[in-house]
Chain A
Amino acid sequence: DVKVTQSSRYLVKRTGEKVFLECVQDMDHENMFWYRQDPGLGLRLIYFSYDVKMKEKGDIPEGYSVSREKKERFSLILESASTNQTSMYLCASSFVGVAQPQHFGDGTRLSIL
C-alpha cells in the first residue's frame, strides 16, 4: 500500500522557534509538494521539488524553506515561526511524468502560540 507519511499529526510550537515538518514517501516518486490548507482559502502551494536537491517556490514561500537531501524525504522548515503560520500542512507526491499531486499525507495541524 503506497504511503506518504508526515511525521506529526499535531504540533504546537512557540513564536520564533525553528520548526521542521517531515514528509516521507515510499513510492519512489520524483515530485514532492508542500501545501498549506486554510479554511475558505483552499490549498496553496508553498514549495515543490522535482528531484533531490531541486526545489521551486510555490505561491506562498515567504517564511518557509525546504530541504530534499534524499528522494524519499521532503522537509518543510519554518525559519522563525509566527502565529500567522498556524495552519494545516499537507505533503504530496507524484511520478515525474505526472505533474499533479497523486498521493497526499494525513496532514500536520500546526499551532504557533
Chain B
Amino acid sequence: AQTVTQSQPEMSVQEAETVTLSCTYDTSENNYYLFWYKQPPSRQMILVIRQEAYKQQNATENRFSVNFQKAAKSFSLKISDSQLGDTAMYFCAFMKPGGSNYKLTFGKGTLLTVNP
C-alpha cells in the first residue's frame, strides 16, 4: 500500500518570502500521479498542482512549483512571493492510475500561515 508523509504539521512564512513544504511517499509503482491540494480556512479545497511521474520536468503553476525527485520519492511544493491568501492547510496526495482505481492517498497535511 502507498503511504504519503508530510513531516511538517505546521509552518509559517513572512509575506513575500518563499516557503517549501515537504512530502515523501512510498510506492513500488513506476507510473503514478502526485498532487498538492490547498484548503483555506472555512473554504473549499482546491487542486494546486499535479505531476505525472513519467515527466522529468517539474510542474509549475504561477507562484507554485514542485521539486519532484522520483528516485528519492520526494515531492515538495515551493510557494514564491507568499501572499496572505496562501494561508491554508496543504495536502500532498498520491494516485496510482489505471482501471477503476481512483483512490488518492493523502498525507496528513501541513498548516501554512503567512504572516504580514
**Are A and B physically bound partners?**
yes
Residues of A within 8 A of B (CB): 4, 31, 33, 40-45, 48, 50, 56, 58-59, 90, 92, 99-107
Given A41-B108, A99-B95, A100-B50: A31 and B45 interface contact (C-beta under 8 Å): no
Contact of A58 with B106 in the complex, beta carbons under 8 Å: no
Assuming the contacts A48-B102, A99-B95, A100-B95, asked whether A42 and B109 have C-beta atoms less than 8 A apart, the reply is yes
Chain A contact residues: helix, strand, loop or mixed: strand
Chain A residues whose CB sits within 8 angstroms of the CB of B44 once the complex forms: 4, 103-107
B11 within 8 Å of A by Cβ? Answer: no
Interface size, chain B (Cβ < 8 Å): 21
Contact at A104–B103, with CB atoms within 8 Å? no
B100 nearest CB across to chain A (Å): 6
Interface residues as binary, B72-116 with A (CB distance below 8 Å gives 1, 0 otherwise) = 000000000000000000010101010010111011110000000
How far apart are A93's CB and chain B's nearest CB, in angstroms?
Answer: 12
Contact with A along B38-62 (1 / 0, CB 8 A): 0000011111001000000000000
* A42 adjacent to B46 (CB under 8 Å): no
Q: Pick from A56, A100, A106, A107: contact of B104, CB below 8 A.
A: A100
